[in-house]
Amino acid sequence: MKTFKFFTSQSIVFGCGALDRLGDEILGFNSKKVFLVADPVLEKLGIVDRVKGAIEKSQIEVVLFTKVEPNPTIELGEEAAEIVRSQKDIGTVIGLGGGSSMDVAKISAMLANNPGSVRDYIGVEKVKQFGLPTIMIPTTAGTGSEVSNASILADKQKHLKLGTMSRFLTPSLALVDPCLLTSLPPSVTASTAMDALTHAVEAYTANKAYPMTDLFALKSVELIGKYLRQAYSNGENLEARYNISLAALYAGIAIATASVGAAHALAYPVEGEYNLAHGVANGLMLPYVAEFNMLSNLGKYGEIAKAMGERVEGLSERDAALKGVEAIKQLCVDLSIPLHLRDFGIKEDVLDHLSEQAFGIKRIIDNNPRKLTLADIKKIYTMAL
């Protein structure tokens, strides 16, 4: 019987060929110059030129920023924002790529209309007004950043990832073209989709979950369970790519208001300290966090099992929930997602430090469905070691 608020991108254009509509969509914002944020890999692959060409067909000038690297820093966000601020005729900001590019695009667009620096807005609802209109074009199926209200950047000094969450960061347009994903290698397909699965599972079981987010989150789990192995095995399988892109979108919509839980909190310090990809860190932590959290809502973990294709008829509620945890772990195995921290050189003597960092991310820890102590977090890390 919760009272809830729901929000997502103002518009969503989804489907193969969606990129062809980009120029017309930008004209709808009355923009004659755009700031296009991407990464060097997409530039080498020719995807940046393809997007740039789609924009320029509508006689719109493009300012390129292609310095984005995995786990982008606060300083990189500041650098992008300074370019946007210095060119007053930029009317729209586009994030092209994975979550890293979209996070930098969001923060630079926000700072165009809000004073100060990135650090002034770390936290929840500290942004005072919308920035420039934003268009997010994902080239992976994982982060859901195209429909979320968050920008996550790394603090180099603290080896932490810090988030800005605000309704004013919600993109103006999510333009999702699954055909952009056909050249993704299997390892990237796996890690980014495990990010989406972590979003879906955590949004579905979170304290902030409510009936509307449950719809999106559980459908995302179902699509990932049915299609991810196909997309991983054959990247040119358009049906699989379409449905995994849809799953990532649904999961992004779910976390925009239900948020995430302990798998993210425990993944962030590992990413920051050991430079792991976000999806890999999430995928590694998710089975152990799910095993710990399972007791908080056996029914929901049983529904996760069913959504992932497990047979639970005749099982007790607890055994059905265990099937959900096992299904998550088996998917990691099938996709060659490492299941142990030691695979990355992480040793037992750093677990106290990692636990303290994870425990300090209160906005996420407090949303976890099972209450966590510092000792609980170390226990989960030990299970994953």
Per DSSP, the residues of 304-333 read HHHHTT---TT--HHHHHHHHHHHHHHHHH
- Asked if residue 29 lies in contact with residue 94, where contact means CB atoms within 8 angstroms, the answer is no
Which pLDDT score, from 0 to 100, does residue 235 have?
93
- Where do we find the tokens 């100060």? 116
- Asked if residue 92 lies in contact with residue 26, where contact means CB atoms within 8 angstroms, the answer is yes
Closest C-alpha to 380, from 264, 302, 271, 301: 264
Closest C-alpha to 283, from 187, 348, 149: 187
Please determine, for residue 79, whether its predicted confidence score (pLDDT) is greater than 90: yes
The per-residue pLDDT of the chain, averaged, comes to: 95
Q: Is residue 359 part of a domain?
A: yes
| 157/66 same-domain check | yes
What percentage of residues in the chain have a pLDDT greater than 70? Answer: 100
Rounded to whole angstroms, what are the CA distances from 134 to 70, 170, 218?
Answer: 21, 8, 28
d(CA 162, CA 314): 45
Closest C-alpha to 384, from 305, 280, 259, 299: 280
Q: Is residue 377 part of a domain?
A: yes
Which pLDDT score, from 0 to 100, does residue 362 have?
94
Last residue of a domain, one of 148, 180, 212: 180
Q: What is the total count of domains within the chain?
A: 2
Local confidence band at 39 (pLDDT 50, 70, 90 cut-offs): very high
Q: Is residue 1 part of a domain?
A: no
d(CA 344, CA 384): 12
CATH assignment at residue 105: 3.40.50.1970
d(CA 125, CA 308): 35
Last residue of a domain, one of 157, 180, 203: 180
Give the distance between the most distant pair of CA atoms in the chain: 65
Structural domain including 286 reads: 186-384
Local confidence band at 129 (pLDDT 50, 70, 90 cut-offs): very high
| 274/225 same-domain check | yes
- Where do we find the tokens 């650090």? 119
Q: Is residue 208 part of a domain?
A: yes
Residue type, 107: I
| 22/56 same-domain check | yes
- Where do we find the tokens 């002034």? 120
Please give the DSSP secondary-structure letter assigned to residue 277.
Answer: -
d(CA 69, CA 35): 17
Which pLDDT score, from 0 to 100, does residue 71 have?
86
| 174/207 same-domain check | no
Burial class (CB in 10 A: 0-12, 13-18, 19+), 166: buried
Which whole number is the average pLDDT over 278-289?
96
Which pTM value belongs to this model?
0.94
Stated length of the chain: 385
| 90/231 same-domain check | no
| 195/160 same-domain check | no
d(CA 333, CA 13): 33
d(CA 348, CA 336): 23
Closest C-alpha to 249, from 165, 104, 146, 150: 146
| 269/365 same-domain check | yes
Which pLDDT score, from 0 to 100, does residue 159 have?
79
Which pLDDT score, from 0 to 100, does residue 311 have?
95
| 79/149 same-domain check | yes
The H-or-E segment that residue 247 falls in is helix 238-258
| 171/280 same-domain check | no
Q: Is residue 241 part of a domain?
A: yes
What percentage of residues in the chain have a pLDDT greater than 90? Answer: 91
Rounded to whole angstroms, what are the CA distances from 143 to 146, 148, 250, 311, 360?
Answer: 8, 9, 11, 29, 23
Q: Is residue 5 part of a domain?
A: no
Two structure tokens written together for 103: 């996070």
Neighbours of 120 (CB within 10 A): 13
| 77/226 same-domain check | no
pLDDT in tens, 312-334: 999 999 999 999 999 999 999 99
Q: Is the dihedral of CA 28, 11, 125, 290 positive or negative?
A: negative
Neighbours of 160 (CB within 10 A): 17
The H-or-E segment that residue 23 falls in is helix 22-27
d(CA 37, CA 96): 6
- Helices in the chain by DSSP H: which ranges? 22-27, 40-44, 47-56, 74-86, 99-113, 186-205, 211-233, 238-258, 262-274, 278-293, 298-307, 317-334, 351-359, 362-365, 374-384
| 59/79 same-domain check | yes
Last residue of a domain, one of 180, 208, 241: 180
CATH assignment at residue 270: 1.20.1090.10
Which pLDDT score, from 0 to 100, does residue 157 have?
82
d(CA 172, CA 30): 13
- Where do we find the tokens 């089975």? 287
Q: Is residue 118 part of a domain?
A: yes
Q: Is residue 4 part of a domain?
A: no
| 339/363 same-domain check | yes
